Amino acid sequence: MDKEKVIIKINDNGSIRINGDVELVDANGEKFEVGATFSLCRCGASDKKPFCDGTHKKIGFNSAPRAK
């Protein structure tokens, strides 16, 4: 049985979007409840860390890294 490929996308000026079947755990190995698609905060200002709450839009977060 093949698993679906997990895609992790770094959105311009926004979050890190995860699509696929993954487990997200904290430093103690405790699992966060996540669905098949979720977004992680990249700006550091979310009130829902480690998840994105859209605050990056309000604070003008600016970052658009590219793979080389």
pLDDT digits (tens, 9 = 90+) for 10-51: 999 999 999 999 999 999 999 999 999 999 999 999 999 999
| Domains annotated on the chain, with CATH | 7-59 (3.40.5)
Q: Which residue matches tokens 């979720």?
A: 38
Residues 6+ apart with CB under 8 A from 61: 13, 14, 42, 43, 45, 55
Q: If you average pLDDT over residues 50-63, what whole number do you get?
A: 98
- Using DSSP, how many helices (H) and how many strands (E) does the chain show? 1, 5
- Residue type (1 letter), 32: F
Distances in whole angstroms, Cα of residue 45 to Cα of each of 7, 13, 19, 36, 57: 24, 13, 22, 24, 10
Q: For residue 54, give both structure tokens.
A: 């859209």
